[in-house]
Amino acid sequence: MSAKPDFVHLHLHTEYSLLDGACRLDELVGEGARLGMKAMAITDHGNMFGAVAFHDACKKKGLKPILGCEVYVAPGSRLERQAASASEAYNHFTLLATSDAGYHNLVKLVSAGFLEGFYHRPRIDKDLLAKHSEGLVGLSGCLSGEIAQHILAGADAAALQSVGAFSEIFGKDRFYLEVMEHGIPDKRRVNKGLLRIREKTGLRLAATNDAHYLHRDDHQAHDVLLCIGSGKKVADAERLRFDTNHFYLKSAEEMAALFPDYPEALLSTVQIAEM
């Protein structure tokens, strides 16, 4: 019998990722406990409105709460409002607090996003991140992350430059290359690019599932939620949609099956949780 794999969800959207996340806090933590999770993170888009309730719900169920945020990072200065479109105005990046200092830094960053950097979304920038990086772990983010965008554009040199900047901000031991597998061709291209970067830099991989809903069959309800959030009809061809039904709270076994060649990507999640 092989040992049960260990895995911690470090990229999770709750009902506080407004009109985008469909996981109700109590149900989310209950499902995490049912799956035998020892710890879980909350990483809502650009805000920490659910942090206290999530913390308390986890404590009740005996799970270790990890407080984080999927922040929006401006490509240049957070004070610039020049981008032609919303998608050019920011990239996504995953932050997790490992200490009281990290939690306070996260609060400062998220607050500054609303008070100083708001343009389409509450944005921070790398300067601000460098000032408030103590006690934080950074993951390279989803398909909308800066590094992923460079890889998709075939700009490997620019991707390496971004990786260098984030490594400098966090230190190599607190910055991870975030790999996901949702059956999406672009994701696979990004994962291949991240593996090339790992070879060159020695940075570690961390596997996440960017969960936006609890169960696989919640995919359709979540799709309707996205339509409400973006003011579109379900039948609209040109709208935001999640192309597969894989963005749910997967078990450790399901996650291990996605990354059979990179067990260290799962191990990293446990090590980060222990921080």
Domain assignment present for residue 57? The answer is yes
Domain assignment present for residue 248? The answer is yes
The letter for the amino acid at 238 is E
More confident residue, 20 or 64: 64
Q: What is the longest distance spanned by two Cα atoms in the chain?
A: 57
Residue-wise pLDDT for 121-144, tens only, equals 999 999 999 999 999 999 999 999
> How would you classify the pairing of strands 39-42 and 91-97?
unpaired
d(CA 83, CA 74): 10
d(CA 80, CA 89): 9
User: What's the pLDDT at 234?
Assistant: 76
**Mean predicted confidence (pLDDT) in 4-24:** 87
Domain assignment present for residue 262? The answer is yes
CATH of the domain at 210: 3.20.20.140
Q: Is the pTM of this model over 0.85?
A: yes
**Mean predicted confidence (pLDDT) in 176-185:** 94
Domain assignment present for residue 9? The answer is no
Confidence of residue 257 (pLDDT cuts 50, 70, 90): very high
**Mean predicted confidence (pLDDT) in 227-234:** 77
Range in 74-83, 100-109, 211-220 the model is least confident about: 211-220
Q: Answer whether residue 199 shows pLDDT above 50.
A: yes
User: What's the pLDDT at 1?
Assistant: 41
Domain assignment present for residue 5? The answer is no
* Cα–Cα distances in angstroms (integers) from residue 56 to residues 61, 65, 66, in the given order: 9, 8, 11
User: What's the pLDDT at 223?
Assistant: 67
Instruction: Give the count of alpha carbons within 13 A of 245, CB side only.
Output: 7
198's tokens: 């790992």
Residue 209's closest CA among 174, 175, 253, 178? Answer: 178
Q: How many C-beta neighbours within 10 Å does residue 267 have?
A: 17
Domain assignment present for residue 260? The answer is yes
- Tell me which H or E stretch contains 274: helix 263-274
Chain-wide mean pLDDT for the chain?
92
Domain assignment present for residue 42? The answer is yes
Number of domains observed in the structure of the chain: 1
User: What's the pLDDT at 226?
Assistant: 65
Domain assignment present for residue 3? The answer is no
Domain that holds residue 246: 25-274
**Mean predicted confidence (pLDDT) in 47-66:** 97
